Amino acid sequence: MSKVAVLRCENYEYDTVKPVIENGIKLIGGIGQFVKSTEKILLKPNLLSADPPEKCVTTHPAIFRAVAELVKAAGATVTYGDSPAFQSPETAAKKAGLEQVASELGIKLADFKKGKEITYTEGRQNKKFTIANGVLDSDGVISLPKLKTHAIARMTGCIKNQFGCIPGTLKGEFHVRIPNPIDFCKMLVDLNAYINPRLYIMDGVYAMEGNGPRGGTPKKMNVILISSDPIALDATVCRLVNISPEFVPTIKFGYEAGIGKFEEKDIEIVGDGIESFIVKEFEAKREAVKAIKSGGIINFLRNTIVPKPVIDKGKCVKCGVCVKMCPVNPKAVDWHDGNKTKQPSYKYKNCIRCYCCQELCPESAIHVKTPLIRKIFTRKKSKKNN
């Protein structure tokens, strides 16, 4: 039986946040179960990009401060870090408000710019990773994910948060090497299993719905979730936002890999229960993730029926982030005519559907569009099943 603490927290006032987190950790065993005196503990927040806390892209500094103080009080040496997609860790930490907290508490930013290659023989999809030095130099990791939607994985939860432990541009290489979203999620499970964070504390006071993980809309959820089981925590979050856990590949494959539990009968909810936090109208994709194959007619079908990124010309400011983040060569999104005074455009025959462009657009100007033929097929299949 896995324990998940589900706790009400209605704002980010520090005097509100800290006792909630302290109580939640006590409910699942106490800080001494996860941290020992003299250990080096790394806090891994979600620092996807350099955005202020009110955008709900990153872990809120009040959550970060509360956890850092509790870990320090347990006698551990604390560091923190993440590897944003294209900005430096320093820039993202400063913009997100974590740098100031870390400075006040005497916490150093760990090395997430460089890493070492490791072999993970137990990996089911991926047996080699380059892991940031800051992770490898620690005795243990506490993961601080943000509750957000995600185009590939359906939600950014506990498992997905560890992708930031791969330094910088190396993350883009994974999208090229593993374009199939199912295999990509299996890779995330292997990565999480190797890093094996001791504790997960999810910031859901304000979540992000819609066009996540960067371009969505803040959604007040009033909840913090804590567990040592990432699958149980992610599955519980799915039930709060009315997504079937089976539709989130990282949950499905994480359960199969033995990382945690996802069925309600195997999860003990402690704290405030889940009923009062359920938001059925939470804007998110509620369909299973489909595998994408490649080659010949399959490439044609992929470009015909697989959801694709589309630029909203009314929102696009021609900043070029999408072009910079496109990992394929030749690029799928680019100024193909060389005129940078216009919005970039897509050549979908090159697009591997990694959605890096959508994930990191600072203006929420890219959304994932489901082709009409896919919608018709899905409706017919749904009617047949009913």
Instruction: Report pLDDT for 380.
Output: 46
- 86 — pLDDT class (breaks 50, 70, 90): confident
Q: pLDDT of 158-201, one tens digit each?
A: 999 999 999 987 898 898 889 889 999 999 999 999 999 999 99
The amino acid sitting at 152 is I
β-pairing verdict for 77-80 and 40-45: parallel
2-277, CATH topology level: Rossmann fold (3.40.50)
- Identical fold at 2-277 and 308-369? no
Proportion of the chain above pLDDT 90, given as a percent: 83
* pTM (whole model) above 0.85: yes
Q: What burial class does residue 296 get, using C-beta atoms within 10 Å of its C-beta: 0-12 exposed, 13-18 middle, 19+ buried?
A: exposed
Pick the CATH number of 308-369 from 3.30.70.20, 3.30.1360.120, 3.40.50.1100, 1.10.10.10: 3.30.70.20
Alpha helices, H only, 54-138: 61-73, 89-95, 98-105, 133-136
pLDDT tens-digit series, residues 103-122: 999 999 999 999 999 999 99
The whole-number pLDDT of residue 169 equals 79
Can you give the residue ranges of every domain in the chain? 2-277, 308-369
The per-residue pLDDT for range 247-287, each reduced to its tens digit, is 999 999 999 999 999 999 999 999 999 999 999 999 998 88
